[in-house]
């Protein structure tokens, strides 16, 4: 799958997540809402819910609990608030967890480039919560404070405004950031931007 198609699917998923956050429906499980900035209750099923020992559980509750446990297993036993939101629709939560796992652990992107792209999408979509989650990960992936400041503060389509961050990011990360700006803000990526990101490094564009 080309990186263009891959990030388009990622953006489609994010859009679907936003739609899910705006919908209201029946709450099927015990909920937690501690005034965090979400529009739906948080769903955090207790670990290890056993349908054999508790026959009163509905199929939906059991499915949700099993998916929650699978997500916990991928995250060292922890559910994030984002997981609690997505678990209002357990199949969406499962699909999201699988997608994020591929992005984090099974893509051909260098770690610093992966985190730059994720962090830049976070900035462009004003997702403060996601920045707080990924900023430490970005540092562990090798991004410096100076580089993170560029990711955070550079205006969209920054080359068109006369900014050049090659001395801070290097040419590969600059190309990745320009590509991210276009696909996040415009969806359509011009050929010259795509070629600048992939170009002769076509093998790097295949997941």
Segment 54-84, tens digit of pLDDT: 555 566 677 788 889 888 888 778 888 888 8
Q: How many domains does the chain have?
A: 2
The reported pTM is: 0.67
What per-residue string of b and e applies to 94-111 under the rule 16 or more CB within 10 Å gives b? bebbeebeebeeeeebee
- For 53, phi then psi, to 5°, come to -80, -20
Asked if 124 and 73 sit in the same domain, the reply is no
Q: Identify the pLDDT of residue 50.
A: 56
> Tokens in use for 155?
């205006």
Which residue numbers in the chain have pLDDT < 50?
1-2, 4-6, 8-35, 51-52, 200-207
Asked if 70 and 97 sit in the same domain, the reply is yes
Ramachandran area for residue 57 (φ above 0: left; ψ -120 to 50: alpha; else beta) = beta
Q: Identify the pLDDT of residue 141.
A: 94
User: Of 103, 136, 158, which residue is a domain's last?
Assistant: 103
Single out the residue of 195, 157, 181, 134 nearest to residue 2, CA to CA.
195
Q: Quote the domain boundaries for residue 113.
A: 108-205
Asked if 196 and 118 sit in the same domain, the reply is yes
Asked if 187 and 122 sit in the same domain, the reply is yes
> Tokens in use for 127?
């997702």
> Tokens in use for 130?
């996601």
Single out the residue of 164, 118, 123 nearest to residue 137, CA to CA.
118
Asked if 117 and 201 sit in the same domain, the reply is yes
Specify if 3 maps to a domain: no
User: Of 103, 128, 161, which residue is a domain's last?
Assistant: 103
Specify if 9 maps to a domain: no
Contact status, residue 11 vs residue 184, Cβ threshold 8 Å: yes
Rounded CA-CA distance 206/148 in Å is: 26
Q: Identify the pLDDT of residue 29.
A: 34
| Residues paired with residue 43 on neighbouring β-strands, in sequence order | 31
Specify if 5 maps to a domain: no
Q: Identify the pLDDT of residue 8.
A: 46
Asked if 49 and 122 sit in the same domain, the reply is no
**If you ran DSSP here, which 8-state letter would residue 71 be given?**
H
User: Of 43, 71, 103, which residue is a domain's last?
Assistant: 103
Alpha helices in 34-127 (DSSP H): 59-74, 81-86, 90-105, 111-124
């Amino acid at each position: 799958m080309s990186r263009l198609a891959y990030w388009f699917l990622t953006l489609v998923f994010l859009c679907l997540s936003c739609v899910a956050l705006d919908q209201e429906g029946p709450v099927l499980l015990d909920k937690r809402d501690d005034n965090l900035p979400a529009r739906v209750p948080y769903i955090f099923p207790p670990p290890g819910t056993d349908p054999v020992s508790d026959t009163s559980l509905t199929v939906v509750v059991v499915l949700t609990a099993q998916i929650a446990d699978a997500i916990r297993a991928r995250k060292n036993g922890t559910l994030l608030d984002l997981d609690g939101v997505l678990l209002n629709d357990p199949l969406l939560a499962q699909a999201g967890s699988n997608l994020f796992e591929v992005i984090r652990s099974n893509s051909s992107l260098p770690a610093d480039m992966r985190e730059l792209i994720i962090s830049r999408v976070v900035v462009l979509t004003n997702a403060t919560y996601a920045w707080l989650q990924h900023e430490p990960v970005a540092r562990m992936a090798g991004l410096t404070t100076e580089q993170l400041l560029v990711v955070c503060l550079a205006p969209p389509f920054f080359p068109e405004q006369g900014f050049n961050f090659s001395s801070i990011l290097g040419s590969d990360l600059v190309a990745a950031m320009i590509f991210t700006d276009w696909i996040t803000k415009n969806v359509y990526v011009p050929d010259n931007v795509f070629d600048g990101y992939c170009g002769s490094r076509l093998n790097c564009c295949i997941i």
